[in-house]
Structure 1
Amino acid sequence: MDPRSEVLLRQADRFAGRLLLAGLPADDLLGHLPDAQGWSWHAGDQAALTARFGPRVEFGTAPSAVDFDSAVLFVPKSRELTDYLVASLASRLAGRSLFLVGEKRGGVERAAKQAGALGPLRKLDSARHCQLWEVAVTEAPAAPDLEALALRLNLDTPAGSLEIVTLPGVFSHGRLDRGTALLLEHLDRLPTGRILDFGCGAGVIGAVLKRLYPHCALSMLDVDAFALHSTRLTLQANGLEADLLAADGIEHAPRELAAIVSNPPFHQGVHTDYRPSEALLRQAPRHLMASGELRIVANSFLKYPPLLQDAFGQCQTLAEQDGFRIYRAWRG
């Protein structure tokens, strides 16, 4: 069981009535708290929890309208996202308690002390490198408008000017990262057919692809509900269309793709996790048509060429700049 869940269960007698667990891990916590409901914005965790606990877990960027007596926030890595989540939950908890749990190095103490502006704050437990805090909400904030928190970027791209909309917690919030910028310069001569933007984030790559290849069918996949919401806003801002997929890996992508384009993620919370990216490299050929192609950007230090060579039989470096490389691999 996740250490954060273990810390919660040490204080389980505090969670009387209807409890909302926000950002909960995919473990057995709900099995120990039969009156609790879950809210997840991670598609992989949502799928695993739904398989075990059915409709007790919802997926999205805001809690449902169902009332709850208290809530626990599993504090995420992003400060901006934490601020939004605290406000969303506290707005529904006037006179009741909001609990925050997280790893010490993940910012739980900072988040708790900032939430202390809402009411009396106390630390309840500290174990397994985690902390649990309680805020008795006396100053409930107004429910935040998520879209009002969006940052909008006007970018000059190889496909022309585009407006990119980023939400709190989404990769590269409020800016264009250097790796993606380099990849945008090397999206020419892709095969004709359906294209997948894997790990679409705020939708930068997919929006450029749709402008460069307006007749292609475009799918955009991400594990995060906030990323998909950002992508949806980016597409709307530019008058573009695509199929959006909430999933945690390439195995959930369509088959017979002409191309997969990605700035593959390799961070999860405060921990580094290369598994989704490495799975993409190994499994991409199964999702590509006979002449299909994978084109990605990656940090130069990552040992991706051997994986691509094993999976495809060939790998080409198209560019290298500022610590990033563009790789092209294709089915022969």
Structure 2
Amino acid sequence: MPPPPALEIRGLVKTYGEATVVDHLDLDVAPGAVTALLGPNGAGKTTTIECCEGLRSPDGGSVRILGLDPVRDARELRPRVGVMLQDGGLPGSARAHDVLAHVSKMYARPRDVAGLAERLGIDTFARTQVRRLSGGQRQRLALACAVVGRPDLVILDEPSAGMDPQSRRAVWDLVRELRADGATLLLTTHLMDEAADLADHVVVMDHGKVIAAGTPDELTSVEGDSVVSIEARGPLDPTSLRGYLHRLAPGDWAVHHVEGHRYTVTGAVNPRSLAAIGTWAAEHGVLLTSISLGRRTLEDVFLDLTGRSLR
């Protein structure tokens, strides 16, 4: 029999006025794993996280963290849950090292502060006031504060936002280490490569509901489908190309504009359909400068599920 979820959400509802931000959401976070919660801006991710943290009261449904209620059992949960908020919630006038040292003293067996500070590069700005830190530096400090107490569950809201590539890699390595040590992690991110690289399980939500869930491989593996990446010398008509492919080989074809003169074609790609793309381009006077075959990425899936229009 599988162990109970480390985080269990059932029928969660949160409204602001007439707007329903979280709409009867069900979500399980498996113990000892990394779960990535994805969604476009306004999907309800942060509100869901805040309800889990006890920062907001749900208007309906229930949340259980490690079997406990995040509001009623807050005192018991506090030493067992580490939280990293988007805005950090850190005191602006305090020095970075002093903040981390103070937080560590709230726990019975904290991680080594000096080692954690060195690992996340906090020692390079240890004596700087929080208000004077860059966005990426504040993120690293907030992450250190979230994990210094060796929590059973770590909730990370956009953990690598504003970080340079070196800092991001250090964060990813720490997340992997926490999972290897048995911690459960729930993270939100807009970085699809971050979710694909770190997550054991991915949940996509939009308009306050879960619209897809599975492992990264399950979400990106559609039997028989591949992605052709095309770059042209000039613009092309996706509708015309899709119609041409559909006439040649009826099926679920999709042609999307990526940026500039780059496009993707998704469907049951085979040698004949690849040749058809070249034939269509020749017939329509479109010069293809590159064409390559690959698999669907998590970003492809995300855009297919949530759309490509700006929110």
Range into which the TM-score falls when normalised by the shorter chain: under 0.3
Question: Which structure has the bigger radius of gyration?
Answer: 2
Higher relative contact order (CA 8 A, sep 6+): 2
